[in-house]
């Protein structure tokens, strides 16, 4: 019986009288491989919208992409098989966007009306913008393909291909048709990843209060198992259909804000029946796993997606047996993701209309995936050609994708989507080759046919997922801090590169290649002077990859109010001439550097050579080396009176050429007396019996009856001193098999190093502890270290993770430990130039704090500035150098790119 239902579902659109043609030699090949086909469920990962190795999509060429009927992985033809794979079955998906033809009954007035420029702020309404679905149709074609390896060259080739459509599908084995249909109708990995981020930001669906007492009208209505029989009982529509669970009425869904969607039939029926039957389910989303069903409540006190625990019983009353049913349409959440992804937000303003658009290699924009401008901006600076070492490693050598020679993508198709090196190469190759670029847009502001055409769009979903899937912030669809993302991305790349093996070697193939962070790595040296005896201590820091500068407002100056307005990033509004221009203070970049390297006083420094007594000291920080690239982060946000981060209204006068030579370390000078080297005995005398763990907190936990080893583990997991957090950890982990085992000595030592990190400014830590009043020193110290010493970002991070702060800190600790373990390799000397740098990139932020607003990148290419505003790329007339949040400087000491990249 179930087989008959499935057969009906898969052949419902084919004529019932069509005769099955006799098998052909090509069909024989397909039949032999049919047993390997699988039928995708809603929980399966299906890449049906993009190749996992390149940005080829069903739209880019007439070959589209092919999706494996066994693994559900989409690729281009030549990358379809892994090295060990034999012949396999695929469904080829090709799509083309074509303009809609004007209907014959449309008079000239209507045509003229459609051509008029939008005059109303709206989409899909009279006088507003015309959405893409009203201007274009999508023509889809499919075929079943057999791909195998050529016996001569070993490359993947198409061995057989048969068109797949309503007329031909009956000629294929049933499992092949079902597998192909499931792939074609599947939401796909792109929507699934967007949906995951969407749902992370959203509240869980509540259980409807009406479910268990829902009225049932016994009117004999039974729902046909054949989807072709379903239609809206009011409008006759065949799509977006909802079943009323009380009386069996089938009606169309609601209209979307852009005019697409349904006919409102289901909602109208709810109103016409006295609002007595509020629960509906979307037909086509029902499967054996009822959690995938799209359920909605029209009740005024719910009016939203809901869960219906007794859905199976309600469906069976209408003759719907969920066993064996498969999803055939997209859910409301999936459609919402698509709708928001295609809406051109900047089409409603004329911002940047004076800019000249540009396209080509290194000049391709990136789609905004929903608050992903922070990622797009960082990617454009690193992988678009501005850093030639990274472009050489991950990008393309010319106007091609180097599919045969690129070792970074030599990985099985089933692993490619989750491999960082592969996805980074995929993204950088697309940016540097320019092969996905379309014609130059008519405007840098208003979207035209070329900018909205899916064949020219780069949507880095796989890259975003593989970089952020295990990060509490970057896996969501919320806006994030671009500076924090830059550090996280470099850390992820370093780990992947260290574990790349033969896929990534140095140029002479003699050993592992240098990691990406090496290009940005610099050390600092602190010179501390003991006020008691004037002895001097020098200490080098660990390598860092971003220079975070505080803005000394005490050194700001007010410009002449009669000077031309310097803030030209925003478009001029009508009436601006009549407004008083706000005078914004200016701080020079040199003043920021002077403040960073200034002599500071530490009142409670503990000196080992004075038997660990406390004596005041002065300290100064300088560069040990000047790397090839310096990423400078300006601390533009401070804590306001309400303890929330707020933007500092200030302009930074940054020259395009800087010389940092005066900030280089000088080393021990003649006549200085150095503090004696610390011996092992003195170090051991500083080590308490339980390093990094507060003895008082340990005693409180043990007084509650817990084992000492378990208490130590709990305190180490939450930072060392927070008793309440440690108690919660104990309750969650007291059943762990190693809960009462002694801690390894290395772990304890690591705890000590983490709690006494010399790179963390204790003055900043204690200031935040005193001002915020609700965090422990250990918690604040972890946040300050994670945010590279920036107090405003640390406070923002603490408040944004209050729901599970100790868990977030534990994850940071695990991440640092894992990275330090993976970094155990011979020390490579850091690059060192003469301190002269040129400004080549900047990231600007518009908004009240780094977790909201919008990011835009500017990059200098061939001596001219280019603006990258997500997909919009244009020549920049006035780059906002004074207003940037991050600055990328390139050393002028090196004539060519690093030879090891």
Catalytic residues: 373, 854
Cα separation, 691 vs 296, whole angstroms: 55
Rounded to a whole number, what is the distance in angstroms from the first to the last CA of the chain? 62
Q: How many helices (H) and strands (E) does the chain have?
A: 26, 27
Q: Which residue has the tokens 């030592």?
A: 749
Q: Which of 366, 399, 367, 362 is nearest to 383 (CA)?
A: 362
CA distances 540 to 31, 598, 621, 747, Å, are 68, 17, 10, 24
Alpha helices in 628-722 (DSSP H): 680-686, 695-703, 708-718
Q: Spell out the residues 6+ positions from residue 784 whose beta carbon is closer than 8 angstroms to its own.
A: 760, 761, 764, 765, 768, 790, 791, 794
Strand arrangement of the beta sheet that strand 613-623 belongs to: 536-540, 524-530, 613-623, 600-607
Cα separation, 217 vs 276, whole angstroms: 11
Contact 768, 551 (CB under 8 A): no
Q: Which of 637, 639, 552 is nearest to 596 (CA)?
A: 552
Is the CA virtual torsion 22, 25, 26, 32 positive or negative?
positive
Q: Which residue has the tokens 């600007």?
A: 844
CB neighbourhood size of 152 (10 A): 7
HSE, side-chain direction, 13 A CA sphere, residue 844? 22
Binding-site annotation: residue ranges for Zn(2+): 232
Cα separation, 34 vs 607, whole angstroms: 76
What's the token pair of residue 879?
Answer: 């780059």
CA distances 128 to 304, 510, 574, Å, are 28, 62, 22
Cα separation, 193 vs 617, whole angstroms: 53
Cα separation, 532 vs 899, whole angstroms: 49
Cα separation, 662 vs 655, whole angstroms: 16
Helix or strand run (H / E) with residue 784: helix 777-786
Binding-site annotation: residue ranges: 232
What's the token pair of residue 360?
Answer: 């080509």
Q: Which residue has the tokens 């992988």?
A: 383
Q: Which of 56, 61, 44, 96 is nearest to 80 (CA)?
A: 56
Cα separation, 386 vs 888, whole angstroms: 9
Burial class from Cβ neighbours inside 10 Å (0-12, 13-18, 19+) for residue 777 reads: middle
């Amino acid at each position: 019986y179930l087989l008959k239902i499935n057969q009906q579902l898969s052949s419902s659109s084919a004529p019932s009288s069509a005769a099955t043609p006799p098998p052909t030699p090509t069909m024989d090949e397909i039949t032999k491989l049919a047993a390997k086909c699988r039928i995708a469920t809603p929980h399966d990962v299906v890449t049906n919208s993009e190749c996992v190795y390149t940005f080829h999509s069903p739209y880019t060429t007439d070959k589209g992409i092919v999706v494996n009927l066994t693994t559900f992985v989409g690729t281009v033809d030549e990358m379809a098989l892994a090295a060990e794979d034999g012949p396999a079955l695929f469904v080829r998906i090709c799509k083309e966007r074509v303009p809609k033809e004007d209907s014959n009954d449309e008079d000239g007035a209507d045509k003229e009306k459609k051509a008029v420029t939008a005059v109303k702020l709206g989409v899909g309404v009279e006088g507003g913008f015309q959405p893409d679905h009203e201007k274009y149709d999508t023509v889809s074609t499919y075929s079943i393909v057999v791909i195998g390896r050529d016996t001569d060259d070993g490359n993947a080739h198409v061995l057989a291909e048969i068109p797949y459509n309503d007329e031909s599908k009956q000629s294929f084995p049933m499992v092949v048709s079902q597998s192909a249909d499931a792939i074609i109708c599947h939401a796909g990995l792109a929507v699934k990843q967007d949906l995951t981020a969407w749902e992370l930001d959203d509240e869980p669906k509540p259980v409807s209060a009406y479910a268990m007492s829902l009225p049932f009208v016994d009117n004999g209505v039974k729902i046909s198992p054949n989807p072709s029989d379903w239609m809206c009982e009011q409008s006759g529509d065949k799509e977006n259909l909802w079943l009323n669970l009380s009386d069996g009425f089938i009606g169309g869904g609601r209209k979307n804000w852009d005019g697409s969607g349904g006919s409102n039939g289901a909602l109208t029926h709810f109103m016409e029946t006295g609002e007595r039957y509020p629960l509906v389910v979307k037909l086509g989303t029902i499967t054996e796993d009822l959690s995938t069903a799209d359920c909605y409540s029209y009740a005024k006190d719910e009016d939203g997606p809901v869960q219906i625990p007794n859905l199976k019983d309600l469906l069976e009353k209408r003759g719907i047996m969920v066993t064996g049913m498969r999803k055939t349409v997209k859910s409301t959440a999936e459609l919402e993701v698509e709708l928001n992804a295609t809406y051109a937000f900047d089409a409603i303003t004329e911002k940047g209309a004076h800019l000249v658009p540009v396209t080509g290699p290194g000049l391709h924009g990136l789609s905004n995936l929903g608050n992903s401008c922070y990622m797009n901006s960082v990617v454009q600076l690193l992988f678009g050609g501005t850093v030639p070492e990274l472009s050489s490693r991950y990008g393309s050598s010319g106007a091609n994708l180097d599919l045969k020679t690129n070792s970074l993508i030599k990985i099985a198709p089933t692993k490619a989507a989750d491999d960082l090196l592969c996805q980074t190469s995929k993204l950088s190759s697309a940016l540097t080759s320019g092969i996905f670029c379309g014609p130059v847009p008519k405007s840098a502001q208003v979207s035209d046919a070329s900018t909205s055409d899916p064949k020219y769009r780069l949507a880095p979903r796989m890259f975003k997922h593989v970089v952020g899937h295990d990060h509490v912030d970057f896996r969501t669809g919320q806006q994030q801090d671009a500076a924090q993302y830059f550090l996280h991305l470099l850390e992820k790349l370093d780990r992947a590169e260290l574990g790349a093996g033969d896929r990534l070697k140095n140029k002479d193939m003699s050993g592992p290649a240098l990691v990406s962070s090496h290009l940005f790595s610099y050390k600092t040296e602190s010179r501390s002077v003991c006020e008691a005896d004037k002895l001097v201590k020098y200490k080098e820091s660990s390598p860092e990859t971003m220079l975070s500068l505080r803005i000394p407002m005490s050194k700001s100056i007010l410009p002449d109010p009669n000077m031309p307005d310097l803030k030209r990033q925003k478009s001029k509004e009508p009436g601006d001439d009549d407004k008083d221009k706000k005078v914004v203070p200016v701080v020079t970049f040199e003043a920021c550097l002077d403040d960073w390297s200034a002599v500071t006083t530490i009142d409670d420094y503990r000196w080992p050579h004075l038997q660990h007594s406390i004596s005041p000291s002065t300290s100064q920080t300088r560069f040990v080396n000047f790397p090839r690239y310096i990423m400078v982060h300006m601390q533009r946000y401070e804590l306001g009176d309400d303890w929330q981060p707020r933007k500092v209204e200030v302009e930074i006068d940054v020259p395009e050429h800087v010389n940092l030579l005066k900030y280089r370390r000088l080393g021990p000078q003649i006549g200085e007396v150095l503090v004696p080297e610390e011996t092992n005995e003195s170090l051991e005398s500083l080590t308490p019996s339980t390093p990094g763990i507060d003895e008082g907190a340990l005693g409180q936990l043990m007084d509650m009856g817990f084992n000492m080893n378990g208490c130590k583990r709990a305190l180490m997991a939450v930072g060392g001193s927070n008793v309440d957090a440690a108690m919660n950890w104990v309750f969650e982990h007291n059943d762990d098999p190693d809960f009462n085992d002694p801690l390894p000595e290395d772990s304890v030592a690591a705890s000590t190093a983490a709690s006494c990190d010399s790179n963390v400014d204790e003055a900043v830590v204690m200031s935040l502890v005193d001002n915020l009043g609700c965090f422990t020193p250990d918690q604040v110290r972890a946040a300050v270290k994670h945010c590279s010493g920036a107090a405003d970002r640390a406070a923002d991070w603490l408040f944004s993770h209050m729901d599970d702060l100790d868990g977030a800190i534990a994850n940071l600790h695990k991440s640092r430990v894992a990275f330090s373990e993976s970094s155990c390799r011979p020390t490579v000397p850091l690059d060192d130039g003469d301190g002269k740098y040129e400004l080549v990139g900047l990231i600007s932020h518009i908004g009240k704090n780094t977790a909201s607003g919008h990011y835009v990148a500017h990059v200098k290419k061939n001596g001219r500035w280019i603006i990258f505003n997500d997909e919009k790329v244009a020549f920049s007339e006035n780059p906002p150098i004074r207003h940037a949040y991050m600055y990328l400087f390139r050393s002028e000491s090196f004539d060519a790119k690093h030879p090891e990249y």
